[in-house]
Amino acid sequence: MVHQLVRGGGTNSFAVDPSGTLSTCTLSRGDAYDLRKGRFQEGWENFLLKVRQKKITRHTNCAACEIKAMGGMYPANCELESGDAEEPVDFLYQVAHLRAHALGSPVS
């Protein structure tokens, strides 16, 4: 099974910073499109599409985890913590499992 790296950002939302840079969310600085050099339509329809289609390159414990969103294990949060959008963050892993346990959600 192939999993996508970006799930929410760039799908039905986006961010534009004060310098005119379009990205999938306000937290991520990895992939960016300069709106001063291109049109918004190009950024939304082509650039963000390519970002959304990125595939996970490493198989980690979190790559296929069904509860990772419960802890905030999103690429931007991982990027902020470790500099790597695919690197699992221990405390986010723990939060996801604690929330799943509290909600009675099964964890495989």
DSSP assignment of 17-50 equals -TT-EEESSSS--SS-EETTTS-HHHIIIIIHHH
Residues 6 or more apart whose Cβ sits within 8 Å of residue 72: 92, 95, 96
How many whole angstroms from its chain centre is CA 31?
11
In this prediction, residue 73 has a pLDDT band, given cuts at 50, 70 and 90, of confident
Q: What is the mean pLDDT of residues 45-69?
A: 82
Residue ranges per domain, the chain?
1-55, 58-108
Q: Is the dihedral of CA 75, 79, 82, 85 positive or negative?
A: positive
Six-digit token pair at 74? 């999103």
With beta carbons less than 8 A apart as the criterion, state whether 73 and 89 touch.
yes
In this prediction, residue 107 has a pLDDT band, given cuts at 50, 70 and 90, of confident
Look at residue 48 in the predicted model and tell me its pLDDT.
87
